[in-house]
Structure 1
Amino acid sequence: MNVKKVRDLTLVDLGQGKTMVIACDSCGSVGLKEGDVLKVPPFITGKYTARVAILEVLCTGAEVICLTNTICNEMDPTGKAIIQGIEEELKAAGIGEVVLTGSTEENFSTVATGLGITTVGLVVTKDLKVNNIKGDALLVAIGQPKVGQEVLASKREDIVDYSMIKQLLQAEEVYEIIPVGSKGILYEMQELARNNQLKLSVNNNIKIDINKSAGPSTVVIAAVSNNYFSKLDIAGSMELLGKVSLEI
């Protein structure tokens, strides 16, 4: 069995043309407990933490088959609200038949909210959109980097949604899709170029902050062909970040 790590993903070659994709995310001090820094309902904590791990798997072209939640708090009321948020996010992603399992902390009282999410998916190996850029490609940001309270105050079009992800996945000229997290757009562009053994050229006129955290993956980077970019019609926020190309 061949197991390798690419960015925040673990890829397991299952043989017979199938690959398992595993991604995770964690969240701490976001909730309504005494020690929480960002005060939001735990429903929101569950929803947006699940979003990160779900997007990581979906953007590879994989189908989500299992999601685990490790809740570092009591089941009632915090755990129940977190699970409701997770279920709402699965619904938003159009994911129906999935195993949802997890654990809560019932031995000790807690003063801050803590949550870990792991998502497992399956994909036909030849359809895996990971390290999939074979030549020149344009890098496009879809959505805007938002974190903390900004996420809750955002306009709908400022945050990339699942319908856009599905649209991108259906296009052969979209080579790779990268959800951006706390390390920012520039870091993810650099990793994308390095993993594909390509040279990165950054656009000098980028309007969004490419060093800012994108919180719960409010923005993705899509590596696309020139032809696809010319036809790309997005109602929300889109920015040309630069390009990757073969070393000369």
Structure 2
Amino acid sequence: MMAIKDPENHLKKIRDVTLFQMNKEQYLMIACHSNAGMGNKAADFVNVPEESIAQFAVRDPLFEIIALRGKPFYINESLTVEFDPTGKKISEAIKDYVCESGITDDIQFSCSTEDYIPTIQTGIGITVLGLVNIKDFQTARTEHGDVLAVVGKPKCNLHDKVNIDDQDIISLSEINLIHKLPYVHDIFPVGAKGIQHELDRFTVETNLEILLEGQGEIDFQASAGFSTCVIISLPRSQVTNLRNYIQSPVNIIGSIK
């Protein structure tokens, strides 16, 4: 393999993922997320178990990589808490959650904690690395006549009581399944900025016009917190098949001219 010169020239961005072209065949994918003020410490704004917020925190970068057909393989945890007991609980919860994506070995994780300064608020920083074959990396696959559907519902710990097993939110196993379905064209995880924000990014990325429908069934402005739902494009004829595969709600919100 030839040495890489001027590595900054090998970088590009798509959505919230940075791509580094390693060779003619592969991109290294980099996605990150941070979360603060949620946990069991004295100054946390939202009181939730450390294990719960840990698993939610890793969803955003993990889902971004999976949505672009990448294979996640490494997770870095930068935690602004002491290792024992808080950091240990967070790290173990993340490992339990991501194992179904093939991230199972200790070498696939690194963790840094704050063990010098006492902390009174929980903070989590997550970086996920993935790989994708360039030949498989295609965005804007959506076709004329496709419909846009929201899988899951927008929910946020600030306004809703949400747990990782909530059947209203898309699960890790479901996005792992959806991205392999040949009739699913594009996948856009929805985060804190809501469905409308991702629809705006969709129109820029695909250069396609959306005809909205079903707006009364789902709030386009509501925060989806930690990627509690995704927008997908697919043929209308395949929506029933999709619903047979997954438990999360599927709502059609538009179609492509």
Q: TM-score, normalised by structure 2?
A: 0.87
Query: How far has the Cα of 1:110 moved from its partner?
Result: 1.3
8 Å Cα contact 1:206-1:239 kept in structure 2: no
Residues 153 and 108 of structure 1, relative CA distance in 2, 3 Å threshold: closer
Q: Which moved more, 1:149-158 or 1:190-199?
A: 149-158
Which residue identity does 1:213 align to in structure 2?
S
Q: Per-residue displacement from partner, 1:189-244 (whole Å, max 9, x unpaired)?
A: 11011111111222154411111111111111111123323532243311001123
Residues 155 and 87 of structure 1, relative CA distance in 2, 3 Å threshold: closer
- Give, in whole Å, the separation in 1 of the partners of 2:185 and 2:173: 17
8 Å Cα contact 1:206-1:240 kept in structure 2: no
Structure 1 residue matching 2:84: 3-state secondary structure:
helix
How many residues align? The count is 245
Unaligned runs of 5+ in 2: 1-8
Matches within 5 A, 1:94-109: 94-97=102-105, 99-109=108-118
Unaligned runs of 5+ in 1: none
- Give, in whole Å, the separation in 2 of the partners of 1:51 and 1:207: 25
1:243 matched residue in structure 2 = 255
Q: Does 1:219 align with 2:199?
A: no
- Give, in whole Å, the separation in 1 of the partners of 2:112 and 2:63: 22
Residues 78 and 235 of structure 1, relative CA distance in 2, 3 Å threshold: closer
Residues 208 and 4 of structure 1, relative CA distance in 2, 3 Å threshold: same
2:209 matched residue in structure 1 = 199
Runs of 4+ in 1 over 6 A off after TM superposition: none
Query: How far has the Cα of 1:153 moved from its partner?
Result: 5.5
Query: How far has the Cα of 1:76 moved from its partner?
Result: 1.3
Query: How far has the Cα of 1:56 moved from its partner?
Result: 1.2
Matches within 5 A, 1:50-199: 50-97=58-105, 99-133=108-142, 135-148=144-157, 150-152=160-162, 156-199=166-209
Residues 32 and 90 of structure 1, relative CA distance in 2, 3 Å threshold: same
Identity over aligned pairs, percent: 29
- Give, in whole Å, the separation in 1 of the partners of 2:50 and 2:240: 41
Residues 154 and 71 of structure 1, relative CA distance in 2, 3 Å threshold: closer
Structure 2 residue matching 1:232: 3-state secondary structure:
helix
The root-mean-square deviation of aligned C-alpha atoms, in Å, is 2.0
Q: Among residues 1, 25, 35, which one is paired with 1:27 in the alignment? A: 35
